[in-house]
Amino acid sequence: MATTVTLNSDLIEEVKRVTGKPTKAEAVREALVEYVRSRRRAELLELEGKVAFSRTNEQIEALEDEEGL
């Protein structure tokens, strides 16, 4: 899906540097994936002690891999 957005060029260059991605599009995709992953982890941490959860870290990572994250 093509989307046009205005982004801070210094920030984009920093994202490219940090991710090692050569293009703006790849860098933005990588940053979005990492953001979603981070938010999901934060949401899980908020549930700590509130629900019974029996998945290991390896199982969670395998699920992320299946989802393409």
Q: Which domain holds residue 46?
A: 9-67
Contacts of 44 (CB under 8 A, 6+ apart): 53
Residue 18 lies inside a defined structural domain of this protein: yes
pLDDT on residue 53:
73
Do 24 and 12 touch, CB atoms closer than 8 A?
A: yes
pLDDT on residue 66:
83
For 44-50, which contacts have Cβ atoms below 8 Å and span 24 or more sequence positions?
none
Q: What angle do CA 11, 16, 17 make, to 5 degrees?
A: 95
User: How far is the C-alpha of 11 from the C-alpha of 52, rounded, in Å?
Assistant: 40
pLDDT on residue 69:
63
pLDDT in tens, 2-54: 889 999 999 999 999 999 999 999 999 999 999 999 999 999 888 888 877 77
**What's the structural domain count of the chain?**
1
Residue 1 lies inside a defined structural domain of this protein: no
